Amino acid sequence: MTISKGDTIPDVTLAKATEEGPEQVQSKDFFAGRKVALFAVPGAFTPTCSARHLPGYVEKADELKAKGVDEIACTAVNDAFVMNAWKDANDAGEITMLADGNGQFAKALGLDADFTNFGMGERCQRYSMIVEDGTVTEVNVEKPGEFDVSSADHMLGQL
């Protein structure tokens, strides 16, 4: 079942990408007590993700925070080392990278996707959501191959 507005974020272990290496974090704890703008990409260093999705959130970070967002986070089915390298390569220091290396978070949300035809294995769909104290208040899932409703601009309109 796909997560919906009003649902609670499932509790799984993610890896927060840091300069010191991966830091284990429970999703329940990460989203507790604050408003988080979360977006997900099928993969770090992939074309749309690197050219449009991540840069949009980097560019709009101050505007999102001015509308009450406490933290902006990105997740992908990549390991924490790749996520950290992608953050560094894109000067995305204001974005928290949450590695979902085994795709457990994507599966728990019902937003996993099969990219084996592209040689990428199991990944997550492209989406964004606003999570307030662990509860999803907005969720935006892209149709395959599209990039619109998961953008920072779209999210700004929801805040």
Determine, yes or no, domain membership for 83: yes
Determine, yes or no, domain membership for 2: no
Residue 136: other Cβ atoms inside 10 A: 19
Q: Cα 93 vs. chain centroid, distance in angstroms?
A: 15
- Scanning 1-159, the segments in alpha helix (DSSP H) are 27-31, 47-48, 54-59, 61-66, 80-89, 104-109, 152-158
pLDDT tens track, the chain, 159 positions: 799 999 999 999 999 988 888 999 999 999 999 999 999 998 888 766 666 789 999 999 999 999 999 999 999 999 999 999 999 999 999 999 999 999 999 999 999 887 677 766 577 888 999 999 999 999 999 988 888 899 999 999 999
Number of domains, the chain? 1
Dump the DSSP string for 103-121. SHHHHHHT-EEE-GGGT--
Determine, yes or no, domain membership for 3: no
Determine, yes or no, domain membership for 84: yes
Residue 106: other Cβ atoms inside 10 A: 23
Instruction: Tell me the CATH number at 144.
Output: 3.40.30.10
How far apart CA 48 and CA 46 sit, in angstroms, is 6
Instruction: Determine the pLDDT at residue 43.
Output: 81
Both structure tokens of 150: 């998961």
Residue 4: other Cβ atoms inside 10 A: 9
Determine, yes or no, domain membership for 91: yes
Determine, yes or no, domain membership for 6: no
- Catalytic annotation, residues: 49
Domain enclosing residue 53, as ranges: 13-158
What are the CA-CA distances from residue 83 to residues 18, 19, 131, 136, 150 (Å)? 9, 11, 21, 24, 19
Q: Are 12 and 104 in contact (CB under 8 A)?
A: yes
Determine, yes or no, domain membership for 7: no
Determine, yes or no, domain membership for 99: yes
